[in-house]
Amino acid sequence: MKKIIIASSNSHKIKEIALQINPFFESILSLKDFPEIKEIVEDGNTLQENSYLKSSALFQHSGIASLGDDTGLEVDFLHGEPGVFSARYAGGNATDDDNLQKLLQNMKSASNRSAIFKTVISFVDGQNDFFVEGILRGEILHSPKGANGFGYDSIFYIPTIGKTLAEMSIEEKSITSHRALAMEKFLKEIQKIF
């Protein structure tokens, strides 16, 4: 297996994933390499369904093994919101900042600020399809802290480390984050296939 496609056009996400899978693949492509594919609609009811929609769409189009992921922030005070709607919490055309501000607004009165970040990764190559997930526990801060990362990273604080995801370097994040935890499981599965 020499090629893989990361089913994303998000530069931050591509960089994070590519850093970890690089030793296993000679060529790492992304959705950006297939401009003829219009946006893949993520209309699944779960993170697993959305990750599979992305990886299977790319595999069916290209015949190349594909990795799709979906991530959701699940906040206890909000009964698991925004969850599968994390990327569009403030609406279909919302920016990362719009989503973050809506979350902070909805948590103004929250005393319990615990949350989890969950990433589900799906792999599709037509023979060895599988899913893995990574879960990171933390707390939602009252205001952003840190300049790295994207999405909700600047308000997701990890007490055991003493930093938000946005305060970590990409190297730290590639070991600690919810995506990193899912990628660790993903790489174990890939090693079995090889």
More confident residue, 84 or 20: 84
User: What is the pLDDT, as a whole number, of residue 22?
Assistant: 86
pLDDT at 1 over 80: no
Q: Look up 69 and say whether it is catalytic.
A: no
For residues 107, 108, 109, 111, the Cα torsion angle rounded to the nearest 10 degrees is 60
- Residue in 33, 43, 69, 70 annotated catalytic: 70
Domains, the chain, ranges and CATH? 3-193 (3.90.950.10)
User: What is the pLDDT, as a whole number, of residue 12?
Assistant: 80
Tens of pLDDT, residue by residue over 30-73, are 999 999 987 788 889 999 999 999 999 999 999 999 999 999 99
| 3-state DSSP assignment of residue 125 | coil
What is the overall mean pLDDT for the chain?
92
CA distance 44 to 112: 29
User: What is the pLDDT, as a whole number, of residue 78?
Assistant: 97
